[in-house]
Every structure is written in C-alpha cells, then in structure tokens.
Structure 1
Amino acid sequence: MSTLRLAAVAAEFGRDLEEDFAIAERLIKEAREEGVHLLALPEACLGGYLLSLDNPASIEEGDLDEGPPALALDGPEISRLAALAGDMTVVAGYCEAAADGRRYNSAVCVTGDGVLGSHRKVHQPLSEDASYASGDRFQAFDTPVGRIGMMICYDKAFPESARALALDGAEIGVCVSAWPGARTSAVANLEEDRWKRRFDLFDRARALENQIVWLSANQAGTFGSLRFVGSAKVVDPGGEIIADTGVTAGIAVAEIDVTQALETARRSMGHLRDRRPDAYTPAGAVTV
C-alpha cells in the first residue's frame, strides 16, 4: 500500500474507561468513514493521563489520584481496541501493567488481527517518574500501512528518539501525546502558548531531519491541573504540516503516497544517507 489516508486525533479522554472506549469507537468510526488507513489516538487515551506533573509530595491530600487503570498488553481491553480497529491500523496510549509489576506509560499499535507493536515511554518529564517506570528502547515494526516507529510525548524532544526509529527503517513516525500548555505565564489563547509552539516545532523538526512522514496526536481540553494544546497534525518528510486540528478537538486527515514522498525528500539531500557517525563523538569522550 503506497497512497494512504493518515489521521491524527486531538480529543479529551479521562479516567472512565468505558467512556474512553465510547470516544475511541466514535473516532474510529469517523475515521473509517473518511477512508483512513492509519489512525493515531492520544497518549493515555485509555484511562486518562495524570492530574498533575507536580511532585506528588507537593499536592494536597485531597487532590491525590490513584492514576489511570493499568492494562495488560495481552488483556481484554487491548483486544477490545483491536476489534474496534478492524481493517484499520490504530495507535493508542494507555497505562501498561507489566509482568514485573511495574506500570509503564505505553502506546500500542493494533489491527483486528491483534497487536502489531508496542512502545514504553523512555523520557519522563518533571515528576512523571513517580507514576511510571521508564522504557529503554526505540524499535520500528512492520504494519499493513508500512514500517512504523512510535514515540510518546516528551520522547520527541530528543532527536535521538526519532533518529533511532528512522535508522531502523521507520517510514512513518507516530507520536502520541498528552502535551499541556505552559505551566507558568499561561496565556488565554493557546495558539499563542509557548509550549504549543515547541510542540509544533518538534513535530516539524523530527519529520524534516529524518525525512519521514509524521503523525502527532494529542489530548485536548483539560484534565486535573493540565490544559492540553491539541494541535494534532500530519507532517510530510519536508517538515510541512499538511493537516492540523489547531488547538481544538478534531481529526487531522491527509492523503499521501508515502513511498513517493520519502523518495522525493531524499533524492538530493538524504539526511540518513549523508550521516557521518564517525564525526559525532565529542572530543575526549570514552566509548564503551
């Protein structure tokens, strides 16, 4: 499959898992009616995100939250999501209950045939590590719509994350987020928010520097003390935004010939091809 309809969601999800599934089902149905092949739902869309990113010790007792429900990768909830996906490829965020007893902020990619790939968030902002363990790898995987690499929110602030996936053959980067507006000097209009600008810059830069197609999904609305910037989008390998929801809830849909787009972007200046890894080790660094 070469020409694809890709979609990224900005929507509000909370703690009520049944309500979250109802929202996901509606969005998947809407995407299917649009002929979408690959749909990205936000970080923590099954069970909601954290109420705050402040240190738990600084939060008043009445505001403490047990966090989202922890779901097993091979459990009934992920199977339910796969059944909803059917012939569509769907990426969604959730709190993963691992066999080792830890909880991870995770993303899963499914079709009606089951789980195609999963990712545990590696980079944790502020006090998120008080609620989740950290993942330790970035790995691309094959799907009916091409080779995909997944990231979660703060992962995209690190160029190495997307580069590792691109070097592993990812043609499409999918980053699911619960990215809020600025914590200080907040503005009334989210379009003018500096964290929203950073969100957009990271999306465009990660697509451009790796010359891959990029889907960015995000939470919208508010949850606890957090006010999310929305701004779900599809970005082409040249770093141009070709579909965008703005700061409100919605679905950004774009049609793109992925193979042709990658070939065109990489024809003259191939950022992966022209790398010089031998020149990137800082002087005096000790290699292991």
Structure 2
Amino acid sequence: MSTVRMAAVAAGFGRDLEEDFRVAAGLIERARADGVRLLALPEACLGGYLLSLEGDAGQDAGPPALAADGPEIRRLAALAGGMTVVAGYCEAGADGRRYNSAVCVSGDGVLGNHRKVHQPLSEDASYASGDGFRAFDTPAGRIGMMICYDKAFPESARALALDGAEIGVCVSAWPGARTQPAADLAEDRWKRRFDLFDRARALENQMVWLSANQSGTFGSLRFVGSAKVVDPGGEVLAATGVTAGVATAELDVARALETARRSMAHLRDRRPDAYAQAPAAFPA
C-alpha cells in the first residue's frame, strides 16, 4: 500500500440536514485540496445526535432516519468523489427500527456500513443495536468502523483487527462528564478516557487509528472534540484538542504495521486457548 494521507474531524452538527451537508461538503473539499484520501466525519453528522443521554430529551423526535441506500447517502458519496469518507447517521432499517450507524462511501457508492453495537445510558431508547464488527476493503486500505462507546470494549477493535483491518475508524459524539464536569474541557475526565481508549485500541491491535468526534454543544451535551490520528504504537500523530478542527497525518500504512508487529506482534502472540473459559456474561 502506498502512503495514505488521512484526516479525522472534530465539528458540530445538528438537526438541519441541509446545514449538515453544507458543513460536510466544506470539510470534504478542504480535505481534498489537502490531498487527503481517507476522511472521518463524526457520529451523527447527518442529522445530529441525541439532545440528552438521560432519557429526558422532551419532545425531540431525534435525527431523521435515512436509508442506507437512500438519496442522502448517495449525495454523500457524490461529495466524496475520489476520496473515501466515513460519516455517522441515523439509519432507517428495513426491519422498521432505527440504528445509530456509520457509512463508508466513495464516488463509487457505499463501501461499508456499521450499526453501533454498544449503547450507553439511555441510548437504547432511541436506537436498536447492531450485531457485529466486520472489516472491508476501500481504496485507502482495509478498514473497520466503530461508533463511540464501541471503542470502550477491547473486543470491538480486536474483532476488526482479526478480520484484517489495517485502519480502525471510530466516529463519536462523545461528551464531557455528566457529573462534576471540569470547567476546562481539556481537563475533563471523560475527555481523558476518550483519548486513552483511542491510544489503547491502536496499540493493543497495532493498527492505525482515526478518531472523529462532535465538538461544541447540542442539547445538554458538551462534546470533547479531540479528533486524532494514532499510529500502531499508540502515538498520537495529529490531534485537534477540544476545539473544532481537522487532525491530518500521512503514513505508509503497510510499513507502519510491519514495523509495529516485527518483534512483539500482539495478534500473532495471542493465546485463544487460554481465553476459552472466560464467561460470556458478567456475573450478576
């Protein structure tokens, strides 16, 4: 694989779908002008996230539900053109349920789709959950997608790494702490957790990691931003901090993975036989 210039976005998005597309189009065009081949936009960037995770969002109907093969996703693919773009949206499932989803597109159409598996707090009142993690090939390399809370579970990224993912892309609407929030968002404990998960998932799987996130405020939520690119050694190559921005880095993905896995290869050195007795469920 040749060198790939990639970027992760921290930006705010809301219920106005036309405004969301305007913001997304601007970010895509600026990334294209900068030579970016793989761009990650945040969770729920088409239609906005929930107003609250307390189950008290009032009369808010939530984001518009979009079909994975519908006109809005085709519009995103047309904007992507020769780039590979990952974006979050509320998916209208064929089963009549709504899913918190991420789609990967290029000008050729949909390359992959992921439904968020792990749901924090009251999110399950608004969305059904997905059922797995699968890597897929793109012009920028083989990638695997996660959404926000998915990255708090080591099994999520590990499943993608074992399926051959070279680049993990996690899109989020990760807020600051609900209780005792820090006055300075950069010092917020939930922001530190967000950053730790990004670095740990990259390091333990020795994979490249893109982390996009919402920024600003929406409803009762104050998002931590902190979009970043992390190398397979867990080192942050570029980051936005807690403000809106674009974290951009360029690296030879194949060489980076080969270097990281040359001696201590975490995937190779696994001992699945030793893990077989682990319980599937947490004891009550």
Q: For this structure pair, what is the TM-score category when the shorter chain's length is used for normalisation?
A: over 0.9
Which one-letter code corresponds to 1:151 in the other structure? M
Query: Which deviations, in whole Å up to 9, do the C-alpha atoms of 1:154-200 show, x marking residues without a partner?
Result: 00000000000000000000000000000000111111000000000
| 1:8 aligned residue | 8
Distance 1:72 1:277, change over 3 A: same
Which one-letter code corresponds to 1:34 in the other structure? D
Return the alpha-carbon distance in structure 1 between the equivalents of residues 250 and 278 of structure 2. 45
Distance 1:4 1:54, change over 3 A: same
Query: Which deviations, in whole Å up to 9, do the C-alpha atoms of 1:78-119 show, x marking residues without a partner?
Result: 000000000000000000001110000000000000000000
1:27-176 matched pairs, under 5 angstroms: 27-56=27-56, 63-176=58-171
Return the alpha-carbon distance in structure 2 between the equivalents of residues 18 and 170 of structure 1. 33
Return the alpha-carbon distance in structure 2 between the equivalents of residues 113 and 274 of structure 1. 38
| 2:184 aligned residue | 189
Return the alpha-carbon distance in structure 2 between the equivalents of residues 110 and 67 of structure 1. 24
4+ runs of 1 displaced by more than 4 Å?
283-286
Distance 1:285 1:7, change over 3 A: closer
Which one-letter code corresponds to 2:52 in the other structure? S
1:247-262 matched pairs, under 5 angstroms: 247-262=242-257
How far did residue 64 of structure 1 move? 2.5
Which one-letter code corresponds to 1:113 in the other structure? D
| 1:24 aligned residue | 24
Distance 1:284 1:200, change over 3 A: closer
CA RMSD, Structure 1 to Structure 2 (Å): 1.2
| 2:222 aligned residue | 227
Return the alpha-carbon distance in structure 1 between the equivalents of residues 119 and 278 of structure 2. 29
Return the alpha-carbon distance in structure 2 between the equivalents of residues 78 and 284 of structure 1. 39
Distance 1:263 1:284, change over 3 A: closer
| 2:232 aligned residue | 237
Instruction: Provide the TM-score with structure 1 as the length reference.
Output: 0.96
How far did residue 285 of structure 1 move? 8.0
Give structure 2 stretches of 5+ with no counterpart.
Answer: none
Give structure 1 stretches of 5+ with no counterpart.
Answer: none
Which one-letter code corresponds to 1:273 in the other structure? R
Return the alpha-carbon distance in structure 1 between the equivalents of residues 33 and 104 of structure 2. 20
How far did residue 2 of structure 1 move? 1.9
Which one-letter code corresponds to 1:15 in the other structure? R
User: What percentage of aligned pairs have identical amino acids?
Assistant: 83
Return the alpha-carbon distance in structure 2 between the equivalents of residues 283 and 74 of structure 1. 39
Distance 1:178 1:285, change over 3 A: closer
SS in 2 for 1:188: coil
SS in 2 for 1:221: strand
Distance 1:255 1:100, change over 3 A: same
How far did residue 10 of structure 1 move? 0.1
SS in 1 for 2:224: coil
Return the alpha-carbon distance in structure 1 between the equivalents of residues 62 and 243 of structure 2. 25
